[in-house]
Amino acid sequence: MSLRRTKSKPDGLLNTVGDSFAVLSGGLSRSKLLKASLIAGGVAAVTAGSAAISSIRRRTEGGGP
């Protein structure tokens, strides 16, 4: 009887993400995936920046916690 080494949660997550990416990349070219990821990153950065500015504005105006 051999003992099988089970994968840790991070290893399983990486495999799942890798499998999902492989499925997605089957129908899309690498350049389109790169463009989509850059757009998504830009949207996330703008959203985070907007939240930071709103937080600073509330603090300086004394509008609550």
Q: Annotate 14-54 with DSSP letters as a single string.
A: HHHHHHHHHHHHHHS-HHHHHHHHHHHHHHHHHHHHHHHHH
Q: Are 42 and 48 in contact (CB under 8 A)?
A: no
Q: What is residue 31's predicted lDDT score, i.e. its pLDDT?
A: 80
Q: What is residue 53's predicted lDDT score, i.e. its pLDDT?
A: 94
Q: What is residue 46's predicted lDDT score, i.e. its pLDDT?
A: 95
**Annotated domain spans of the chain:** 28-57
Q: What is residue 1's predicted lDDT score, i.e. its pLDDT?
A: 47
Local confidence pLDDT in tens for the 65 residues of the chain:
455 656 666 777 666 766 666 666 666 677 877 888 899 999 999 999 999 999 999 988 875 55
What b/e string do you get for 22-31 counting C-beta neighbours within 10 Å, with b at 16 or more? eeeeeeeeee
**The pTM is what?**
0.50
Which residues 6+ apart lie within 8 Å of 28 measured at CB? 36
